[in-house]
Every structure is written in C-alpha cells, then in structure tokens.
Copies of this chain bind each other. A is one copy, B any other.
Amino acid sequence: MARAATTSDAFNAVAEPRRREILDHLASGERSVNDLVIRLRLEQPSVSKHLRVLRDVGLVRVRRHGRQMLYQANGEGIRPLHEWTKTFERLWAHQLTRIKERAEEKARESPPG
C-alpha cells in the first residue's frame, strides 16, 4: 500500500505546505483564486488543484461571484485537527511546569542578594 490520498482526511490535506499557506490567506476572509495566485506566487493550475483537495476534505467552501470563485476557510473542517492536538496539551504544560520547578529549585539553592 502507498501513502494515503491527500483527500482522505484533513490531516493529509494540510500536510502540504502550500495548502497551509492557502488556508492562512483564507483565514482573514474570502479570496478569489487569482488573489491567491498573486499573493502566493504559484501557478494558477496549482492553486486550483490545491483548492480542490481542500474542498474535497471540507477545509474550504466556495461560492461563485460572476467569473470568480470565492473561497473561504471552513472552521468545522479544521476543528478536528485542533481537538486532536489538544489531547497532548498537558505534555508541554507538564514540561513548562518542570522547567518552572527547576528554576525555583535553582533560586532556592542560590538566592539573590
């Protein structure tokens, strides 16, 4: 078996850096394809293909406005990624706690003044 399709889920879709850049630009609001082409300095077919993947996994929504297609980020699509990473939150919280503890320990060993 080869690697899972980029369209198999949001995790695979956002693995591609360009697609994350696209989402970053869509975070501030609706953008046309050409907007993205100009801002990201990618070829138009590339942008369209990336948007297609993002659309397939529900990370963006589209509507037509005349000749343009206006894309926007879909929060509900990104949310599962946030929730999954959140389950590991205590790991770096612990690490910070340990760092803090060590700092305090050190302070007790050699108090200021």
Please report A residues at the B interface, Cβ cutoff 8 Å.
3-4, 6, 9, 11-12, 14-17, 20, 23-24, 27, 73-76, 78-79, 81-82, 84-95
Contact = CB atoms under 8 A, between A and B. Distances in A.
Which label, helix, strand, loop or mixed, suits the secondary structure of the A interface?
helix
Contacts of A73: 88, 91
Q: How many copies does the complex hold?
A: 2
Nearest to A95: B75
A92 to B, nearest CB: 3
Contacts of A84: 20
Which of A27, A87, A88 has its CB near the most chain B CB atoms (within 10 A)? A88
A12 B19 CA distance: 12
